[in-house]
Chains A and B, each alone.
Chain A
Amino acid sequence: AQSVTQLDSHVSVSEGTPVLLRCNYSSSYSPSLFWYVQHPNKGLQLLLKYTSAATLVKGINGFEAEFKKSETSFHLTKPSAHMSDAAEYFCVVSGSGGYNKLIFGAGTRLAVHP
């Protein structure tokens, strides 16, 4: 069975400092992995997607994530946080089954302070 664990429920950083949001996954096959962002009272927006091509995936707004199979991790990073990055971030793994199943992590709330 597939699962995803976001290791931090809350992360707080200062504007201009690096961001690291941690995600571990479990999958019995080579999965697709996603990061979505949800700004307050908004829907979910795709940040980036890994589908077994390059292990370093670049997304929108300066975010990137590295797929590490040996560590079963897919951590999200950004070199320099901006106030507008404050949001909730979801790590998502594709599931098995006959349809496009997604399994969501519980989310990490990122706060950015001036």
Chain B
Amino acid sequence: NAGVTQTPKFQVLKTGQSMTLQCAQDMNHNSMYWYRQDPGMGLRLIYYSASEGTTDKGEVPNGYNVSRLNKREFSLRLESAAPSQTSVYFCASSITRQGARETQYFGPGTRLLVL
């Protein structure tokens, strides 16, 4: 039981390049999330997926796209990377229960540097 896994662990991009961050969970969770972490700001939600086949914008979605490939996998794509997207990206998952606030389980993160 690996929990939430993310690839790659590190990535360096040039401005304008594209890339996809991968996330997978093996806990049979319905909901998945992408966050970014910047110094002094905690984590901010980029996109989330409440169930397979649905995605919605979070707090800071500009410059990103997501795909919920199946129940296990949720990818984050940067179409044209910018230096402002230098950050640490975390994927998380949780069960979905109407009206309840469920614990989110986090992956180890992807450190992205955009030059």
- A11-28 vs B, CB cutoff 8 Å, 1 = contact: the mask equals 000000000000000000
Residue of B nearest to A99 (CB): B50
A56 at interface (Cβ–Cβ under 8 A)? Answer: no
B62 at interface (Cβ–Cβ under 8 A)? Answer: no
For the complex of A and B, the 10 pairs showing the least CB-CB separation, nearest first, are A104-B42, A32-B101, A94-B101, A44-B106, A43-B108, A43-B106, A104-B43, A106-B42, A99-B50, A100-B94
* Total CB contacts across the A-B interface at under 8 A: 51
B107 at interface (Cβ–Cβ under 8 A)? Answer: yes
A9 vs B103: C-alpha distance when bound (angstroms): 24
Total contacting residues, chain A, CB less than 8 A: 24
Q: How large is the interface on B (under 10, 10 to 19, 20 to 34, 35 or more residues)?
A: 20 to 34
A7 at interface (Cβ–Cβ under 8 A)? Answer: no
Residue of B nearest to A91 (CB): B42
A84 vs B102: C-alpha distance when bound (angstroms): 27
Q: How far is the CB of A48 from chain B (nearest CB, A)?
A: 10
Specify which chain B residues have a CB less than 8 angstroms from the CB of A49 in the assembled complex. 103
Q: B43 contacts A43, CB within 8 Å?
A: no
B48 at interface (Cβ–Cβ under 8 A)? Answer: yes
Q: B50 contacts A43, CB within 8 Å?
A: no
A42 at interface (Cβ–Cβ under 8 A)? Answer: yes
Determine which of B50, B103, B108, B109 lies in contact with A34 in the assembled complex, contact meaning CB atoms within 8 Å.
B103
Q: A90-B43, A104-B43, A107-B42 are in contact. Are A43 and B90 (CB under 8 A)?
A: yes
| Interface set, chain B 26-76, CB cutoff 8 A to A | 31, 40-45, 48, 50, 56
Specify which chain A residues have a CB less than 8 angstroms from the CB of B106 in the assembled complex. 36, 43-45
Specify which chain B residues have a CB less than 8 angstroms from the CB of A104 in the assembled complex. 42-44
Q: A43-B90, A43-B108, A44-B90 are in contact. Are A100 and B42 (CB under 8 A)?
A: no
Q: Which of B48, B90, B104, B105 has the most chain A CB atoms inside 10 A of its CB? A: B104
A-B contact pairs, 16 of them (CB 8 A): A34-B103, A42-B109, A43-B4, A43-B109, A44-B106, A45-B106, A51-B101, A90-B43, A99-B48, A99-B56, A100-B48, A100-B101, A100-B102, A102-B104, A104-B43, A105-B42
A94 vs B45: C-alpha distance when bound (angstroms): 13
